[in-house]
Amino acid sequence: MPSYQQGQFEQETPHLRHHAIRHIACTVGDTTKQPDRATRFLARLDRHLPTLADQAARRAFLDRQLEGWQQRYARFIATDGESEPVIIPADPPQAADFLLTITGLMARRTALDQQTRAHA
């Protein structure tokens, strides 16, 4: 049951409020192609989060993901993109892929904190 918080955050599952990035990620680039890297990654993450034992495990998982993606982004920038493999030559990784992913992770982490405070 989708709802909107201040017109920005879409909720698709009542127990995890985390789809802040979906609209942005889907509007970047040509929407007739497959979903972009960030959207695909975040979809896999969204399927995985409910399988974790509890909110603390979800927080720890998201914290590790955020740290890892921030490090990858820093390495990507420092090496002018050479640190990431190019799987599809016509669609190499770009800084926006990292920024969309990091933003999505941060949105999910913030929503998890807000949900925890609301139930406390």
Residues spanned by the domain of 9 = 4-118
For the whole prediction, is pTM greater than 0.85?
no
Q: pLDDT-based confidence at 33, cuts 50/70/90? A: low
**Cα 62–chain centre separation:** 10
**Nearest-angstrom CA–CA distance, 93 and 106:** 20
Does 92 have pLDDT greater than 70?
A: yes
Find residue 4's DSSP bridge partners: 10
Q: Is 58 exposed, middle or buried (0-12, 13-18, 19+ CB in 10 A)?
A: buried
Higher pLDDT, 73 or 3: 73
Residues 6+ apart with CB under 8 A from 86: 92, 93
Work out how many domains the chain is built from and give that number: 1
Round the average pLDDT of the chain to a whole number and report it. 80
